[in-house]
Amino acid sequence: MISVSILNGDLAHLAQTAELVAASGADALHYDVMDGRFVDNLSFGLPVLSSLRACTDLTIDTHLMIQDPLHFAERFVKAGADLLSFHIESRSDTAETIREIHSLGIPAGIAVSPDTPVEALFPVLPLLQKDDFILLMTVYPGLGGQQFLTRSVPKIAALSEIIRREQLPVHIEVDGGINAETGAQCRAAGADYLVAGSYLLRSEDPAAAVRSLRAPL
């Protein structure tokens, strides 16, 4: 799956950004929610998500970078989220938040910041179901346009091996600094969901950018 971060688009014309993403052949819109507390930045909230939902049929891949995702999960699903990820480093109980998202009828994602080891996921991996996913951040959450952290690649490979060994029906998503080169590195290590932002939205040929992210390894 190719998910496009609209945080890197024209924020005054989100409907047009959604149309551009759909025309590019990408699969989803990546919708970053920041509360100014979990990360030192603010972004979109519920009203913007509702408005975006009304103008696109694309999957909306919603990433909560907030302190209390359990408190807000139901509201974001009702506003239009099709996938909902939250950070294991947040204040909400991880297992309870996973169960809440499942009860709302959509896949749950556990996001992991660069300095958090994959071992932190071990207690909750058995709770994940088909189409759930792990979102490994390949930059520090909170700001777009950062350099890809190459030390993320072994982390992806380690998680992929655990998923394969335990036969878990889950995906690995990566987010941050993704382009044709870094995307290929992540895919080779085991990622199957890529979040791209400026690489696609600032490209002269967004469809070519999407094709490059899907190119054979």
Concerning whether 115 is annotated as a catalytic residue, the answer is: no
Token pair belonging to 35: 């509360």
Token pair belonging to 169: 């029906």
Concerning whether 93 is annotated as a catalytic residue, the answer is: no
121 contacts: CB under 8 Å, gap ≥ 6: 88, 110, 112, 134, 159
Token pair belonging to 198: 């400026």
Question: What's the CA gap between 49 and 129, in Å, rounded?
Answer: 25
Options 27, 57, 175, 192, the catalytic residue: 175
Question: What's the CA gap between 214 and 37, in Å, rounded?
Answer: 35
Options 32, 35, 61, 132, the catalytic residue: 32
Question: Active-site positions?
Answer: 32, 175
